[in-house]
Structure 1
Amino acid sequence: MAAGGPFGIDHRVTVDNRGIWARHNQLVLEYATAATVVIAPLVLGDESKLGDTFWRTLDSVAVSQAITQAAKLTFQRERPSQTANPDLFFRGVHDSSFPSGEVTLIAGAVTPFVVAYGRDHPAVYALELLPLYDSMARVKVRGHWQSDVLAGWAIGTATGIWAAHRRSPLILGWLPGGFEIGFAHKF
């Protein structure tokens, strides 16, 4: 089977929308990730390493989603559910396969944690299994081409690294006097 797309790797795979790959499981991961990214920084504040990491995750996700949406509007690529030809770009604003917004979200959410905690707690690297799963699942349900998910993963990872290495969280810095809300309890 010939492959195409920007990296020469794109091809349709047999649809598998059952079990672990079912679309509803992908949506659970997407919505749970988005909810956690928005709610956790508000609850935890930024006084702890965990709270600070969640604020950086919010920065990562916000910036990566802005980049991804701009890219989708620019490239206007048809999805594999629409065509067998992976080279169809600039087809109209309703075609938004490149890059994958969901994979960008998941990668952008886990990367600040990998950067902040990975060296001291190597098990944190297992979080990278989440964008791997979502990438595979999106391709299996023909929601995206292989290059779509790789580009999304790269954008999410890059913004996560950027957010993790900033002197302070970006969005938190925009708030006058910072932001603090939450519940803290020590035993």
Structure 2
Amino acid sequence: MRFSISRGRAIVSALVAAAAACAPLLANAGDGIDHRVNRNTGGIFAAQDVVPIALAVFSGGCALWEGTQTPIGKTCWESAESIGISGLSTEALQYLTGRQGPSETSDPGRWFTGRKGTFPSLHVAVTTAAVTPFILNNFESHPWLSSGLALVPVYEMVARVKAQQHWQTDVLAGALLGAGVGIGEVYKNSPFVFGLLPDGGFVGYHARF
């Protein structure tokens, strides 16, 4: 499978949206990107913990309900597998890097502290990984919906920095990791779990009711 021009445009659109939304966070940053912002977890930012959980539940539930025989079912499997890979990778990197977050220190250079850190952002990686297959697989038929989905990771990026849970480079790295995994899942056109299932797939549970 090869990326179409439309899929390439989807990726570019997502990157442009992320850059535009994160611009206010990078302003007045001095010589570096990372800086602490005023803490704000109220209003629209209160849903930041719910978003990745809701996406994981939706993708997993959709995958089991639809099975592997429909386009939406295949996309849900790609999303669910991307979530799992991104989540495990992020957890491992956070323990390896041990970076202290802005809620603990004003110095973004505190790495390798010997405990779990903040680099890269788990929330952002999982959120980006979840929506990437949906964006790429549906951009031609539903460009506006797909473009709207690209704003979900952007929201999570801003929210995590506003909550002082992550530095700016934490969320950028999380977005890149999640997008990379999601793109890889779509590009290879066959989620790993398909090879573990009888006959390479199964009929979704909705067909049994």
Question: Partner of 1:180 in structure 2?
Answer: 203
Question: Partner of 1:58 in structure 2?
Answer: 80
* SS of residue in 2 equivalent to 1:183: helix
Question: Partner of 2:37 in structure 1?
Answer: 13
Out of 182, 185, 195, the residue aligned to residue 163 of structure 1 is: 185
| Structure-2 separation of matches of 1:118 and 1:105 | 20
Residues 1:169 and 1:2: Cα distance change in structure 2 (over 3 Å):
closer
Runs of 4+ in 1 over 2 A off after TM superposition: 1-4, 175-181
Per the TM alignment, residue 2 of structure 1 is displaced from its structure 2 partner at its CA by 5.7
Q: Which deviates further from its counterpart, 132-141 or 30-39?
A: 30-39
Question: Partner of 2:52 in structure 1?
Answer: 30
| Structure-1 separation of matches of 2:84 and 2:119 | 18
Q: Which deviates further from its counterpart, 144-153 or 119-128?
A: 119-128
Out of 80, 98, 104, the residue aligned to residue 119 of structure 2 is: 98
Q: Which deviates further from its counterpart, 52-61 or 171-180?
A: 171-180
Amino acid at match of 2:204: I
| Structure-2 separation of matches of 1:34 and 1:153 | 16
Q: Which runs of 5 or more residues in structure 2 are unaligned?
A: 1-27
Q: Which runs of 5 or more residues in structure 1 are unaligned?
A: none
Question: Partner of 1:45 in structure 2?
Answer: 67
TM-score by length of 1: 0.89
Amino acid at match of 1:167: N
Q: How many residues align?
A: 179
Which digits, 9 at most, give the CA deviation of each residue in 1:42-62, with x for residues without a partner?
Answer: 011011110010011112111
Contact 2:69–2:202 (8 Å) recurs in 1: no
RMSD value, Cα = 1.7
TM-score by length of 2: 0.80
| Structure-2 separation of matches of 1:142 and 1:113 | 29
| Structure-1 separation of matches of 2:87 and 2:41 | 25
